[in-house]
Amino acid sequence: MSTDRPIFVVGCPRSGTTMLQLMLHAHPRIALPPESRFLLPAYFRRHEFGDLSDPAQRRALAEWITGTLHFDDLGLEASEVIAAVATAPPTLGSALGTVFKLYADRFGKPRWGDKRPSYLRNLPVILRLFPDAQIINIMRDGRDCVASLKETPWRPADFNELIDYWARSADASLRAARSYPTDVYHQVRYEDLVADPETHLRAICRFLDEDYDPAMARPSELAPVAVPAYKTWHSLTRSEVTTQRVSSWQERLSEEEAAQCEAVFGDRLTRFGYQLSTPARRGPRIRAARTWLTVRDKLGPARLRAEDVRGRLKSRRRGPALPARLTAAERAD
């Protein structure tokens, strides 16, 4: 029986999430949009939307979604989206999923989902909204991610923040691998995927319970229809399947920067199968930084519960129900 479970692509920024999105979008049954960027804001503002059993509240939510900055990248008519969300099941997940489903309908495909790096550190949120979701996490050498992040116009001023970002993403990946069953969470390394696309795409398709399609190994052919207009052609070519950028940190990071990366997250690199170029440093400052990263990420579930309480206190209205009721499994619960 064909499945209709939603699919979410996650990973640290600059780890190949767009390439993987395009690979999946090339499948004849799967449509994944460019980054929509309204899902997490909608979740964290959910108490503002009130009781979604009221069609007027669902319409107000839909109007908010269609007014977000990147909505036009989906190529959907706002009026069509508003009407569909207004008649969707009365939950936040259903409202958000309806938008992604309409995007998939553009291409005549039954499976839908979304891609955004920040979902990696918010997987409990994704699974609260979409209980039968399947998560694909693409992992890349942290030194390459940091080197690429360093060159982006929106990078933080502090190099340590880039290091911290990958370390936290790596910890989220390790936590997810421990927490979720094999039919919910799948991880692939960027380096393995670009070196042998067919083998690893076949593994992804087995995870998704889909047949492999050779078009998936040629994602750049879909770039004009599956990547938002604000991306330049230079950025589109980054979605081509090539090993040229593997270990490019060796030219893009100084010796001191590379040593700094390895000193902070070298233990994580080795756990994902990457080889260190310098001996691991284990001074008291490094141990303290590692301890802080671990404690902070363990506080994630507690922060979610505290945020729920704060949201209820801020609003006299009842917050919306969360789980989507769009897929066969969700409707059966």
Residue 39: burial class (beta carbons within 10 Å; 0-12, 13-18, 19+): buried
Mean pLDDT of 134-149: 96
Give me the CATH number covering residue 118: 3.40.50.300
What is the predicted pLDDT for the residue at 35?
87
Residue 65 in any domain: the answer is yes
Mean pLDDT of 218-225: 61
User: Model-level pTM?
Assistant: 0.86
Mean pLDDT of 135-161: 89
Which tokens in the block code for residue 36?
Answer: 């929509």
Report the first-to-last Cα separation within the chain, whole angstroms: 18
Residue 284 in any domain: the answer is no
Residue 266 in any domain: the answer is no
Residue 242 in any domain: the answer is yes
Integer CA distances (angstroms), 153 to 148, 161, 236, 253, in order: 11, 15, 17, 17
Q: Rounded to whole angstroms, how far apart are CA atoms 307 and 128?
A: 14
State pLDDT tens for residues 16-29: 999 999 999 999 99
Structural domain that includes position 224: 7-155+179-247+308-332
Integer CA distances (angstroms), 267 to 175, 261, 286, 290, 311, in order: 15, 10, 11, 10, 38
What is the predicted pLDDT for the residue at 81?
98
Residue 253 in any domain: the answer is no
What is the predicted pLDDT for the residue at 319?
65
Q: Domain total for the chain?
A: 1
Burial 208-218 (b: 16+ CB within 10 A, else e): bebebeeebbe
Collapsing DSSP states into helix, strand and coil, what is residue 180?
A: coil
* For the chain, percent of residues with pLDDT exceeding 70: 80
222-227 long-range contacts (CB < 8 A, ≥24 apart) are 222/22, 222/25, 222/26, 223/22, 226/21, 226/22, 226/25, 226/32, 226/33, 226/34, 227/18, 227/22, 227/34
Mean pLDDT of 220-229: 52
State pLDDT tens for residues 95-120: 999 999 999 999 999 999 999 999 99
State pLDDT tens for residues 281-318: 555 545 544 554 455 545 555 554 454 455 444 444 45
Least Cα distance to 262 among 169, 153, 327, 167 occurs for 167
Residue 283 in any domain: the answer is no
State pLDDT tens for residues 149-192: 998 877 666 888 899 989 999 999 999 999 999 999 999 999 99
Residue 269 in any domain: the answer is no
Least Cα distance to 204 among 30, 11, 24, 35 occurs for 24
What is the predicted pLDDT for the residue at 195?
96
Residue 326 in any domain: the answer is yes
What is the predicted pLDDT for the residue at 208?
98
State pLDDT tens for residues 244-281: 899 999 999 999 999 999 999 999 999 999 999 876 55
Collapsing DSSP states into helix, strand and coil, what is residue 289?
A: helix
Binning pLDDT at 50, 70 and 90, where does residue 320 land?
Answer: confident
Region for 50 from its dihedrals, namely left if φ exceeds 0, alpha if ψ lies in -120 to 50, beta otherwise: left
